[in-house]
Amino acid sequence: MRPPSGTSRPKRLLSLDDLDGAILRELILGEKDLFRTERMSFEKIARDLHLHRNTVALRIRRMTAAGVFLPLSLGVEPTQLGLVRATLWVVPRPELRNEATLRALCMLEGVQLIIQYIEGWAVINYTEDEEALEPRRELIAHLCGATESSWESMSSQDYPKRTPIRLTSTDLGILQILLLNARTPFPRIAKELGTSARTVQRRVRYLTSRGAIMVVPTGKAKTSGLVFGYLRTYFTSGTTPRQEIIHTIDSMLSRAVFRNLHHAKFASWIVGVPSLGDLEALLELIRSVPQVKAVSVRIMISLRLNPLWASWLLRVLRRRFTPDGTLIPMGKGPVDLREEQPPARQASPSGARRRAPVDRKARAAG
């Protein structure tokens, strides 16, 4: 029976199964502990999961149409470029949990993302040094009228030390284009920078190998029909290595779309399940793993990406790096990021020995 004229048919809520979860994980994570640093093709995913290419393509199209799957693109990881990443947990007053407060937070330099949970907000910040974090915390708490605010993680303290990366002016140009449009193809990047596509590919391989570029989800997800939970697991000391316990839990969470294995205090996952009952079942499953001390959960409402963050990061990179990739101290003026012209080839001095031309016909006859 058709719906009455002028009315739209209600959309069916998409139900994810284990195969959808495996494809999502392969797109974003694979067998690595971090986000991927390379773009993935349907053929590569199909080979890794022992599936047909058409099956992978159909599943991705289905999740994309339902808004569950977010398009992937190359993103910039600022901590590999010398910046400090810190996550601030705030509990805003109920009357300030509104659009005006979100817009005010997005006006702060270095705020990249605001994750809204039922229990509170997690504000992802980037700064150039740790000294700027405490004034940032006080300002964010004031804007939110927060009854509670604390730093949950800090890259300089809770993550392994990173080797400084050197950037050339070509690298900075690549990062600038990716920050403005993360889905720009390599040939177009090469054309805008006045270089070859092979050079762009070589520099992108270097940046991805050093973790400065990774594959990240983009866009806005529809959470209708799904419950997204942020799971945080703490461990006790024991005979089983922590990494082995994490992989055991990871195998249980077939729907996990994000995991953080680098924090010194805990491991975390973001999972999407059909109901709160399914989420509670996952919690009980994790609690049954030996050496798991405690598991906490937060129910996610939405994500708010700061549209001004990319332009702020670009200004910081331009100020901090010279054309040869040397990190400059703060307080100096902007640097010229134009590509240095290669030195002109000098003419050979008169009388210099040159290779004699080869007579190919004579060689063939011989």
pLDDT, tens digit, 9 for 90 and up, residues 207-221 = 877 777 765 555 444
Residue 282 pLDDT > 80: yes
What is the identity of the amino acid at 177?
A: I
pLDDT range class, residue 179, cuts 50, 70, 90: confident
Q: How many CB atoms lie within 10 A of CB 174?
A: 29
| Cβ atoms 189, 260 nearer than 8 A | no
Q: Read out DSSP for 326-361?
A: PBPPTT------SPPPPPPPPPPPTT---PPPP-HH
Least confident of 38-42, 158-162, 185-189, 229-233: 38-42
Question: Model confidence over 313-354: pLDDT tens digits?
Answer: 888 887 777 555 444 443 333 333 333 333 444 444 444 444
Instruction: Considering only residues 105 and 240, tell me which one the structure prediction assigns the higher pLDDT.
Output: 105
3-state DSSP assignment of residue 313: helix
Instruction: Considering only residues 123 and 214, tell me which one the structure prediction assigns the higher pLDDT.
Output: 123
Alpha carbons 209 and 214: distance in angstroms, whole number: 9
Alpha carbons 344 and 225: distance in angstroms, whole number: 64
Residue 291 pLDDT > 80: yes
Global confidence as pTM: 0.68
| Cβ atoms 238, 292 nearer than 8 A | no
Which region holds residue 152: left if phi is over 0, alpha if psi is between -120 and 50, else beta? Answer: alpha
Task: Please report the domains of the chain, with CATH numbers, ordered by start residue.
Answer: 18-69 (1.10.10), 71-219+306-336 (3.30.70.920), 227-298 (3.30.70.1060)
Percent of the chain's residues with pLDDT above 90: 18
User: Phi/psi of residue 210, each to 5°?
Assistant: -95, 5
Alpha carbons 326 and 234: distance in angstroms, whole number: 39
